Chains A and B, each alone.
Chain A
Amino acid sequence: MAAVEALRCKECHASYELEARYVCEHCFGPLEVAYDFSGLEPEAAKRRIQAGPTTLWRYADFLPFESPPRTALAAGVTPLIKADRLAESLGLGEVWVKNDAANPTHSFKDRVVTVALAKARELGYEVVACASTGNLANAVAAHAAAAGLESYVFVPSDLEEQKILATGVYGTNLVSVRGNYDDVNRLCGELAGERDWAFVNVNVRPYYAEGSKTLGFEIAEQLGFQLPDRVVVPVASGSLFTKVARGFEEWRDVGLLEGELPAFNGAQAEGCSPVARAFEEGKDVCRPVKPDTVAKSLAIGDPADGPYALELARRSGGGVDSVTDDEIRAGIRLLAQTTGVFTETAGGVTTAVLKKLADRGDIAAGERVVLVITGDGLKTLDAVRGSFETHEIEPTVSSFEDTVGVAAAA
């Protein structure tokens, strides 16, 4: 018996059928999938999870489907790595890295797209689309190709070349929009009203967002069905940040987890920090900004879930911080050089914010901290270009000794 019930407005709680709808007709509030987990027995749920596939469909009881759909390219079950050298370098007790770059298109967006496309197909759509800062573009193009659906992917024209190439290869209709992400998003909002397409992060956004819960489920399962004390998560729209918490809360509600919600620390780039600024100023809504940062995957100036991200940061005893582009580049190197995980700029933001919290003394000695790494460093190579030296030599021992040998001894 599936637990999924309806779509419900987060503001006025009006209910709607489970269809392609994302906005409340009454108050324009966002719709979210509502469940009734009262029939779910925790031990049985745990057994189903542990006997499930090594994809996010192992959490099908907590996703918006009557029965687990079949998907050609499923995401999830990425490594949770104990990062002792990173912890030591920051003077922290226990740090884990959730490496969600280990997904089919190398970012956490495979999770949301897996769920969104399964729902789009169930609802009968033949074309899928998205507004993207890059990672979502990769994922929509790939999952649509695997499912045999036509796709349209809208991106800002200044996107990193790696993300353009890793999208176009899948045979999507790639649309490069002269404007920033918020312009792309507005355009897709208008198009969603005119085309009979499933825009994964517009008209099927309530389902799409459910995919992010699985990141929380996995962290808890991989820690042995325990909650960490703190999580550090990048914030763009705020959807991932709030849905990881929702995942923890659902499992606590059904009895799969016990204890307090972890402190939620959001991470933004200073050049696009509407949520961090509102947090600092004590506001409960975000003032939009024009992004200017190397962390393009987080460059959303008008974050849709900003108010909910602020509310979560405050009630969990966490916060939202921002870091400079130089700190982001240093964060990428710090993570790479202490864990062997090469992350894109968003992961640099997250790592740099962890460092900032550690330096500020916000993290207690005994805390178990999880750092959420959402994308692969190969997507944003420019961020590390010129950050190290290469020794160029002749193919002779003497040339090696003269050049590298001396450099090593110096």
Chain B
Amino acid sequence: MSVTVKIPTQLRSVTGGESETSVEEAGTVGEVLDGLYDRFDGLRERIAEDGDLRRFVNVYVGGEDIRFLDGLETEVEDGDEVTILPAVAGG
């Protein structure tokens, strides 16, 4: 199985410029992120704090904010698209 992850411009300096990547063998959003942390040095400190996402980081699965789902425990399936975005926009 494979999940696509979309990387915002603000994080591309730690992903070597990649705007999209994929993670295999992850059952939840938290595991998807762990897969990214293993692969990209410095990513964890940017978006996570004390085991949770920083308060100005939003994560979506298929366009739905994970806070409307099960947060980091939200299950992902083969072909799902996970999007990371800064929370501070709009209004």
Contacts and interface: CB of A to CB of B under 8 A. Distances in A.
A25 B10 contact: yes
Interface string A267-293: 000000000000000000101101000
B54 interface: yes
A199 B85 CA distance: 15
B86 A288 contact: no
Contacts of A205: 88-89
Interface in B1-60: 6, 8-10, 13, 19, 46-47, 54-58, 60
A28 B87 contact: yes
A274 to B, nearest CB: 11
Contacts of A179: 63
B91 A237 contact: yes
A30 B10 CA distance: 12
A27 interface: yes
A26 B46 contact: yes
B54 to A, nearest CB: 5
Main secondary structure of the interface of A (DSSP, over half): loop
Contacts of B63: 179, 183, 186
B91 A236 contact: yes
B65 A22 contact: no
Contacts of B85: 186, 189-190
B55 A131 contact: no
A193 B9 contact: yes
Contacts of B6: 190
B62 to A, nearest CB: 12
A182 interface: yes
B83 interface: yes
A186 B60 contact: yes
B65 A28 contact: no
A174 B9 CA distance: 25
A304 B54 contact: no
B67 A23 contact: no
Contacts of A288: 65, 67-68
A169 to B, nearest CB: 24
B55 A188 contact: no
Contacts of B91: 201, 236-240, 300, 303-305
A302 B9 contact: no
**Which 5 A-B pairs have CB atoms at the shortest separation, nearest pair first?**
A237-B91, A30-B88, A185-B90, A193-B9, A23-B86
Interface of A: 11, 22-23, 25-30, 131, 179, 181-183, 185-186, 188-190, 192-193, 199, 201-202, 205, 236-240, 285, 287-288, 290, 300, 302-305, 307
